[in-house]
Amino acid sequence: MSMERNAECRTLIEEALALKTAGGLSQGLAAIRQAQQLAGNFSKFFLDLLQVLLDQDQADLALALTQQVLEELDQDRALLLYESAMSLLAQTAPSTLKEFSELGLFVRQGPAVDQDWIDFIFYPDQIAAKEAAASQMALTAYLDSDLASDPSQAMACYQVLDSLAADQVQTFIRAYLTRHPGPSLVRTDFLARLLEAGDQGHLVLEGPLGKCHELHLATLDQPQDRSFFQAGQDYLEACFFKEPLVKAYLEEEWVLLTGLVYPFEEELDQSPADLLTALATADPEDDTYRLLRKIMKGVI
């Protein structure tokens, strides 16, 4: 392996270990699999892994994983790699080694490695496949859930989505929005994710008053970039700059409202100034305010 590829492989290993430690198992598995592919064979990968662990002062883990080689690989490969790995450890971290066995092999010192490390290093493809299957099962259940009305479900769903590849996320979002076309902050976030991924397809969604619209993502901009949203921000800056507390409150309400009606603001048939005036006045007899209260579902 060239020096550049060797360095890239070790960088991927460092990233994988950090992700695993931080709880990002799926992302860590992706990085460790990529490192193994880049190395070309498991032995080269494993020796790079040991060097990374030694550089991170994790000699005990390096030693435990090396001992595990004898359990996880076929005999011929295991013995060759074991001897190479132990030679590296003897040169770099001799204090972790106890003695030679009668066969001339080093003897492990310290506790055995946990099963999750064995799976992560020796069987990442199988574990990744199990993770993907479990995630797919979870997403299938979330398709029928109203994430907008169940924050705990929404949070759990987002955690699954964050562990998936971009194309899998897009597929789920499209399926979810087809089943749940109504306005919600979840829908707005999902649309923003599709735009970030460069999706240029189309969807049929409902506006804030229940009308159906065919939405072409290729012509859509992000919520914060909409002229409608910006006009409201400008109005707040111009009219409420002397009332900072009121301005701060209305800014939050404006973000919430525009997030709920995005991207069909024109269905309200009201200017940003009119809508913000209604929010500021909060007159329960005002038709516009009552409509906004209905859209915002009691938040105001």
Q: Are 102 and 86 in contact (CB under 8 A)?
A: no
End-to-end alpha carbon distance in the chain: 62
Record the pTM. 0.67
Q: Which two tokens stand for residue 234?
A: 């400008």
Q: Are 59 and 96 in contact (CB under 8 A)?
A: yes
**pLDDT score at 113:** 83
Amino acid, res. 247: K
Per DSSP, the residues of 198-244 read T---EEEEE-TTS-EEEEEGGG---GGG-HHHHHHHHHHHHHSTT-H
Residues in the chain with pLDDT values less than 50? 99-105, 108-110, 300
Tokens 């001897």 belong to which residue?
83
Q: At what angle do helices 287-295 and 244-261 cross, to 10 degrees?
A: 70
Q: Mean pLDDT of all residues in the chain? A: 89
Q: Are 183 and 206 in contact (CB under 8 A)?
A: yes
**pLDDT score at 110:** 47
Backbone angles phi, psi at 24, to 5 degrees: -90, 70
